[in-house]
C-alpha cells in the first residue's frame, strides 16, 4: 500500500513512551513502573489561520516547528509527570514526597526530566539559535584573520556546526535516560515503517525494520546546516556582527527552505539515485535513535494502534 492511501503519520519519543499524531488526535503512551501502559489523548484542534499557514510552502515549515514544539512540551510533561510519580513512589506518600522536594531530594530526577524536555524541543528553538551563533564565533576566532574567502568561511562554519552537534548528541546519548529516549525514538520509526509497508503491527514484524526514517526531525537538523551554508554564500559581510545579524535574520528562511528540502527528499526516496539526497539526515539518526527492546516496541505499537482507533471514531466522540 502507498503512503498516500495509508496516510502520513509522525510522532516523537517521550520519557518511557511514544507519542503519535493522527488525523484527529495525538496519543501518548508510556510504560509505567508497574508495567502497565498508560495513555494520554489530546484532540487535534488547530486554529483556522494555523491550518492555512501550514499549507503555504516555505512558511509551513516554520509554523509547523513552532506548533509541534508547543504541543510537544505537553506530551513531554505528561510523560515526565508519570516518570516522576513512579520514581518517588505511590500517591499515598505525597506528604513525604513534598518534603523531599523541598529538601532537594528529587533534584536529580527532575534534572533528568528537564534534560529530556530540552532534547525534545530545544533543537528547534533556543537550541537552533545556539547552534547557529556559536559556530560563527568559533570559526571567526580560529580562522577570521587567516583568509578572506567568505564562502570558505561559511563552509568551515557549517563544518564546526556539524561537529558541535555530533559531540553534543553523542555526549547526551551516553546517559541512561537519554539512551532510553533514543530507543523509544527508534521504536517510533520502526512502527511507522512497518505501517507504511502494510504489515500487521506485531512486535516481531516491527522489529524487522531499522530505526531510521526519512521524515525524522533529526534529518531536518542536518538540512538546516546544509541549506544555511548555501544561503549564506549569496551574501557578503564586513564585520562579525553583520555576519551574526544575517544569521539571525535569515534563520526563518533557512528553516522554511530546509523543511521543503526534507519533504522533497522524502518524496523521491523510492528513486535509486535521488534517494541518496536524504542520506545525511539518516546518518545523523545513527546517533539520535537506538535499537529498542520488545517492551519498548510494544508501547509504540499501543500508541499507534490507539491513534488509528481514534481516527476511525466520529469526530463528535473525540473531545
Residues paired with residue 29 on neighbouring β-strands, in sequence order:
18, 39
Q: Which residue has the higher pLDDT, 306 or 66?
A: 306
Answer yes or no: is pLDDT of 130 > 70. yes
Cell numbers placing 102: 523541598
Q: Report whether pLDDT(69) > 80.
A: no
Give the pLDDT confidence of 82-101 residue by residue, as tens digits.
888 887 765 544 444 445 44
- Whole-number Å distance between alpha carbons of 293 and 297: 6
Nearest to 31 by CA among 301, 299, 302: 299
Give tens-digit pLDDT for 203-219: 999 999 999 998 887 78
Distance CA 4, CA 299 (A): 25
- At 31-47, the pLDDT tens digits run 999 999 999 998 888 77
Please report where in the chains the cell 523531599 appears, as a residue.
100
End-to-end CA distance of the chain: 31
Name residues whose C-beta falls within 8 Å of residue 64's C-beta, 6 or more positions apart in sequence.
54, 259
Q: Give the confidence band of 13 by pLDDT, cuts at 50, 70, 90.
A: very high
Question: How far is it, in rounded angstroms, from Cα 38 to Cα 264?
Answer: 36
Torsions phi, psi for 200 (to 5 deg): -65, 135
Find the angle CA(279)-CA(16)-CA(186) to the nearest 5 degrees.
15
The Cα–Cα gap between 20 and 308 comes to 10
Amino acid at each position: 500500500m502507498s503512503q498516500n492511501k495509508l496516510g502520513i503519520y509522525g510522532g516523537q519519543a517521550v520519557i518511557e513512551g511514544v507519542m503519535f499524531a493522527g488525523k484527529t488526535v495525538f496519543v501518548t503512551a508510556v510504560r509505567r513502573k508497574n508495567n502497565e501502559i498508560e495513555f494520554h489523548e489530546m484532540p487535534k484542534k488547530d486554529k483556522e489561520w494555523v491550518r492555512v499557514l501550514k499549507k503555504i510552502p516555505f512558511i509551513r515549515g516554520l509554523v509547523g516547528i513552532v506548533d509541534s514544539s508547543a504541543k510537544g512540551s505537553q506530551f513531554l510533561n505528561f510523560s515526565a509527570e508519570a516518570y516522576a510519580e513512579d520514581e518517588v513512589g505511590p500517591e499515598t506518600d505525597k506528604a513525604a514526597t513534598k518534603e523531599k522536594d523541598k529538601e532537594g531530594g528529587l533534584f536529580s530526577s527532575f534534572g533528568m526530566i528537564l534534560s529530556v524536555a530540552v532534547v525534545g524541543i530545544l533543537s528547534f528553538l533556543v537550541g537552533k539559535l545556539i547552534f547557529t551563533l556559536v559556530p560563527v564565533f568559533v570559526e571567526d576566532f580560529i580562522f577570521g584573520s587567516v583568509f578572506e574567502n567568505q564562502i570558505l568561511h561559511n563552509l568551515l562554519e557549517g563544518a564546526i556546526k556539524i561537529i558541535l552537534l555530533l559531540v553534543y548528541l553523542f555526549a547526551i546519548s551516553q546517559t541512561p535516560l537519554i539512551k532510553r529516549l533514543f530507543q523509544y525514538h527508534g521504536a517510533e520509526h520502526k512502527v511507522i515503517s512497518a505501517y507504511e509497508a502494510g504489515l500487521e503491527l506485531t512486535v516481531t514484524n516491527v522489529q524487522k525494520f531499522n530505526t531510521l526514517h526519512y521524515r525524522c526531525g533529526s534529518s531536518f537538523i542536518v538540512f538546516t546546516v546544509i541549506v544555511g551554508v548555501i544561503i549564506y554564500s549569496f551574501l557578503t559581510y564586513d564585520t562579525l556582527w553583520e555576519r551574526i545579524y544575517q544569521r539571525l535574520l535569515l534563520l526563518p528562511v533557512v528553516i522554511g527552505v530546509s523543511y521543503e528540502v526534507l519533504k522533497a527528499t522524502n518524496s523521491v526516496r523510492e528513486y535509486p539515485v535521488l534517494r541518496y539526497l536524504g542520506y545525511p539526515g539518516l546518518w545523523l539518526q545513527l546517533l539520535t535513535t537506538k535499537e529498542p527492546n520488545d517492551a519498548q516496541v510494544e508501547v509504540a505499537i499501543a500508541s499507534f494502534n490507539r491513534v488509528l482507533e481514534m481516527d476511525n471514531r466520529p469526530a463528535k466522540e473525540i473531545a
